[in-house]
Amino acid sequence: MSERSLSEQQPVSFGAWLANSQVFGDLFRDGMALVEETATYLDGPGREESKKLNRAAALAYATESMRLTTRLMQLASWLLLHRAVKEGEMSLAQASKEKAKVKLSAADPADPTSLELLPAALRTLIERGQKLQGRVRRLDTSLHAPQSQQTESPLVPNPVERQMGLLKAAFGPTNG
């Protein structure tokens, strides 16, 4: 074990670790790929499919494709902010201030009847976008939790250190 005592070691920020982890890398890759895939669909096959829809379905298509695009742009903004943190281009505190401009709140669920009118490919993209939003929201909660929730606060006793203290009190100091 290290020569440094437990009280001298600095706790690892879970948020900092998570931002630099493979979890974030995978989320970033998946998110940006979904943005690109959605744009390609909406500009190509989706546009052609929407021309074939009846009026009610076309209205649902327009509404849901706009909601999806907005959701994905917000998620892309969040992902790019946190990639900047990971790359050292900004601090997590700076990203926290900037992320106030990004809306990650859960989207209102679409009317199931309207969703049934949509092409299957768009429904799939909507579902994937909602899942991505859930993943980002969970990571956001972990990254931006108050510091006292990420690391041990000096006001909250460390249970391991407390137990070590009790052992030392019972058996005396150890040498080595």
- Which pLDDT value is given to residue 96? 82
Is the per-residue pLDDT at 13 higher than 80? no
Domain 14-171: CATH architecture, name and number where available: Orthogonal Bundle (1.10)
- Which pLDDT value is given to residue 102? 86
Distance, in Å, from the CA atom of 86 to the CA atom of 160, rounded to the nearest integer, reads 31
**pLDDT category, 144, cuts 50, 70, 90?**
confident
- Which pLDDT value is given to residue 157? 56
- Which pLDDT value is given to residue 154? 45
Three-state SS across 69-89? HHHHHHHHHHHHHHHHHHCCC
Average pLDDT over residues 55-65: 95
Average pLDDT over residues 16-23: 68
The full set of domain ranges for the chain reads 14-171
- Which pLDDT value is given to residue 20? 66
Distance, in Å, from the CA atom of 169 to the CA atom of 176, rounded to the nearest integer, reads 16
Q: For 74-126, how does the pLDDT look when each residue is reduced to its tens digit (9 = 90+)? A: 999 999 998 988 888 988 888 888 888 888 876 677 788 889 999 999 999 99
Is the per-residue pLDDT at 68 higher than 90? yes
- Which pLDDT value is given to residue 1? 46
Cβ-in-10-Å burial (0-12, 13-18, 19+) of 107 comes to middle
Is the per-residue pLDDT at 39 higher than 80? yes
